[in-house]
Amino acid sequence: MSEKLFLRIPEVADSLGVSRATAYDLIARGQIPSVRLDGRGGRGILRVPAEALRRIAADAIKATDSANPERDPR
């Protein structure tokens, strides 16, 4: 089975360990990129690219490591 390219908001929230409301808020503030896929009714279906979420996590780890140079990496 192949890996998902886009994640639903509950999946994003679960991956980040936050509530769905927080995930929606982060998307609304532009901290998490999202796309609207064509859906019925014209509004579209909100999804987050999985690669973008991985990039955000990697950037957060780098920022934490550079802010705490004496931190034990274990």
pLDDT at 71 over 70: no
Please state, in angstroms and rounded to a whole number, the distance separating the CA atoms of residues 14 and 70.
30
> What confidence score (pLDDT) does residue 34 get?
96
> What confidence score (pLDDT) does residue 2 get?
80
Q: Which domains does the chain have, with CATH numbers?
A: 6-66 (1.10.1660.10)
CB 45 within 8 A of CB 37: yes
**pLDDT tens digits for range 5-49:** 999 999 999 999 999 999 999 999 999 999 999 877 777 899 999
Instruction: Please name the residues in contact with 34: beta carbons below 8 A apart, sequence gap of 6 or more.
Output: 27, 46, 47, 48, 49
**Closest of 16, 46, 22 to residue 34, by C-alpha:** 46
**Alpha-helical runs (H) found in the chain:** 9-16, 20-28, 50-67
Q: Model pTM?
A: 0.76
